[in-house]
Structure 1
């Protein structure tokens, strides 16, 4: 399924921070969002995921095609890793958690409560949920935070496998994951510009 974004404007709170975002993402491709902190990468991902209504513009993919992984890991602290993954598998009607467990090397952690995991272990378990959704378009906000080098490589392999199966991904990351079919999108090119208010007061500026 292709994700097509046309002239999208996105807001953070009451301020419009991005205007004119347009791209087409074909199956088997990844799009890496680039830009400094605060440039609007998270804002764009939340808008694509349907969590924040766009100011204007459109996107083509239905919500049930999208899986969003934000900074939170989405784990119930008092449940084990196996119980957490089984819960998410039941939500998305997935029969088997084994591929997700293998992809993120979670077998030794299955009986451990999420509350007892390290930050990196929680991130691995949280990312494993993506494989249980069955959704073709993954939206990922700084997915490698707290991951060491080996687990960054595991994550990159999981993304490559998803793309090879006809999925796609939009990622905000500062790390080069070495994805063979990835392209970059510089978010700063779509920054909304400050303008002078009609009052003529040069000090009265608002974000468009």
Structure 2
């Protein structure tokens, strides 16, 4: 379980949000909403330990997150709003690199993940030759081999067509059904039963 207590965040001497408390249980999908500049990305980065411009406490499974930050990070998958690919490498090479050696998946499994994500025939092409939508699909293929419990996704629907949007929603729901947690920011209207929303505006 993830819990935030009395969370406040500032950027450039401006308060983005304050006194935010939130509990997220296994199986929850939580959409962080708000206008541009409201602090959605700052909140996600703070949860992940990538942003220290906040006050308040983050708890993971009942313990202060930073008491065992390595265990927390081993259960966390963060995908930022930039695709995070090395454009000189192929999708399969990027996927191998993205696991950091944490996941024991074969190259065959990774190729199947890329194919399922609409990249059949592009697995070995340098990413700079791919369209923006294909690059986003390559980055999101990481979800199909993920073993981490909590996914933190910042604008994952960017540049995706309708088919890819529908598939990503299915992948998120499947993860939640297995007891996973998803925190997501998006301007996309999600069609997910039981979706929780937090509005920072």
TM range (shorter): 0.7 to 0.9
Correspondence for 1:174: 187
SS of 1:155's equivalent? helix
The answer to whether the Cα contact below 8 Å between 1:17 and 1:40 also exists between their aligned partners in 2 is yes
Counterpart pick for 1:87 among 94, 97, 106: 97
Q: CA deviation at 1:72?
A: 1.4
Q: Which residue of 2 aligns with 1:201?
A: none
Indicate conservation of the 8 Å contact 1:88/1:132, yes or no: no
Q: Pairwise mapping of residues 69-80 of structure 1 onto structure 2 (< 5 A)? A: 69-80=79-90
CA distance in 2, matches of 1:43, 1:93: 28
Change (3 A) 1:98 1:22: farther
* Unaligned runs of at least 5 residues, structure 1: 189-208
Residues 1:39 and 2:38 aligned together = yes
Q: 1:160 corresponds to which residue? A: 173
Higher-Rg structure is 1
Count of matched residue positions in the alignment of Structure 1 and Structure 2: 187
Alpha-carbon distance, 1:98 to partner: 4.8
- Give the SS at the match of 1:53: coil
Q: Deviations over 1:32-65 (max 9, x none)?
A: 1111111111111111111101531111122332
Equivalent residue for 2:113?
Answer: 100
Q: Which residue of 2 aligns with 1:200?
A: none
Runs of 4+ in structure 1 over 3 Å off: 13-16, 130-133
Contact 1:80 1:113 in 2 (8 A): yes
| In 2, Cα distance between equivalents of 1:33 and 1:73 | 19
CA 1:102/1:20 → structure 2, altered by over 3 Å: closer, same or farther?
Answer: farther
Deviation at 1:89, TM superposition (A): 3.2
Matching residue of 1:16:
15
